[in-house]
Structure 1
Amino acid sequence: MAAGWTRRTFDADGVTEHPVGPNFQRLRSEFGGAVVLALDVSGSMSGDRIRKAVEGCHRFVEEAADAGYSVGVILWHHGIEDDVAPSSDPRAARGLLDRARASGGNKAVPFLTKAHEQLMALDVGDRVVAIFGDGDLGPQAAAERKAAELVADGIRILTCGLGEGSARELATISTEEAAPRTATNDTLADSIASMAQGLTLKKSSR
């Protein structure tokens, strides 16, 4: 043994443990993410609109899952039509999207409340709500107050509206700094899918 040799201890996260140890859960919490995709299924979304919107949502779910996010879906109108909580397995989210049907009016507070509960129940590093709507938020002051509660808890809000009026109203609760994301009847699927670009910061940190 050479003179001056000193025994040293090297510490590292045990990410190769099998079965998975506590370090895996800690690292997954630090680097993982969860997103709730809220799709407007009010009556004005009937016909070709709902078909195109579902197509765009499927693409969003695929991109989010590929980026390492757990994905949930809420179908909303004046209340909540149906929902699935965020999961690392996107099959339930996809199945719910395929059952989407248009009816009802618009009110944002119920789905914002549900998304808030679902995301705060998860120990993840990035929490996101991605919202598509083709109308208004319902009572706007109440929606803005509820959105502020989500933001105070570190939840990011991405939005996409069909038409300039809807896009501007949804943008009042968005945390994005870019211009309101605006869809047209022709670009509906692409515009909804483009909200996944808001998840690219998490992709680059992986």
Structure 2
Amino acid sequence: MPDWIRRSYTGVGLTQYRPGRHLKALQEPHLGTVILCIDVSGSMGMIDGGRTRLAHAVAGAERFIADAVAHHYRVGLVLWNHEVHQFVPVAQGESAVRSALQSAPISGGNNIEPTLSLGIRELGPLRGDRVLAIFGDGDIGPSEPAVARSREAAALGIRIIVRGLGEHSAAQLNLIATEGTDEGGTAAVVRDAADLERGIASMALSLAHRGLAPGNGGGS
């Protein structure tokens, strides 16, 4: 048997070198970033099927997060009412987002404009697909400033996808949406509280259709 067949070949393993300082910049265009925005206003305390609306929403949010992470999106969270009640940046990771969801309060009224302003600050400087995924069960507050902020976000390439509980809420949220339906064709309206979990989770379809699966590039 020739000697070369029995010869051992060795080389320096790639993992022996630490990632360089430019790794994050190289990865960013191939990642997505989504901030999930869940309404925690007083009406979310209404009971349906033995659970509050918020409990149904949290279950849907948990499914949304799992799907988003599976499609290579970094996930942040806003709990909103008449202000930004709590914000969990994407840098804090999935576990921090889930923890905040599980301890979400119920209080206040509705005003989506502060949430949109935060989304612009956080997502505007980033690359890749950037998304605000917003759920609400009532009004959005003063519509004129909210629409102005949504147009500002759209001009920066930030997508806004929405789900509203009932026709009225869906119509309100559609004022700020950049996509009337998600890319899977799912309507923005959630018919009742029993459908809340599926409705919120279905927003992840808009992420899946962006093609950020392994081996594919994303980006706006």
Query: Do both share a fold (TM > 0.5)?
Result: yes
Structure 1 CA distance, aligned partners of 2:77 and 2:211?
20
Deviations 1:13-69 (A, max 9, x none): xx9883112553333121111100010000000042010001101111111111111
Q: Give the residue type in structure 2 aligned to 1:28.
A: Q
Q: CA RMSD in A?
A: 1.9
Q: Is the 8 A contact 2:159 2:178 kept in 1?
A: yes
Q: Give the residue type in structure 1 aligned to 2:39.
A: D
Is 1:134 the counterpart of 2:133 in the alignment? Answer: no
Where in structure 2 are the equivalents of 1:58-97 lying within 5 Å?
58-87=62-91, 89-97=93-101
> 1:18 is matched with which residue?
17
> 1:3 is matched with which residue?
none
Q: Give the residue type in structure 2 aligned to 1:113.
A: S
Where in structure 2 are the equivalents of 1:4-43 lying within 5 Å?
18-22=17-21, 24-43=23-42
> 1:115 is matched with which residue?
119
Q: Is the 8 A contact 1:33 1:126 kept in 2?
A: yes
| Shift in alpha-carbon separation, 1:69–1:40, aligned structure 2, 3 A | same
Q: Give the residue type in structure 1 aligned to 2:77.
A: V
Structure 1, unmatched stretches of 5+, are 1-14
Q: Is the 8 A contact 1:36 1:115 kept in 2?
A: yes
Moved over 6 A (4+): none
Q: Give the residue type in structure 2 aligned to 1:151.
A: A
Structure 2 CA distance, aligned partners of 1:50 and 1:30?
34
Is 1:203 the counterpart of 2:212 in the alignment? Answer: yes
Where in structure 2 are the equivalents of 1:122-201 lying within 5 Å?
123-178=126-181, 180-183=187-190, 184-200=192-208, 201=210
Q: Is the 8 A contact 1:40 1:133 kept in 2?
A: yes
> 1:5 is matched with which residue?
none
SS at match of 1:176: coil
Structure 2, unmatched stretches of 5+, are 1-13
Q: Give the residue type in structure 1 aligned to 2:31.
A: G
Q: Is the 8 A contact 2:33 2:130 kept in 1?
A: yes
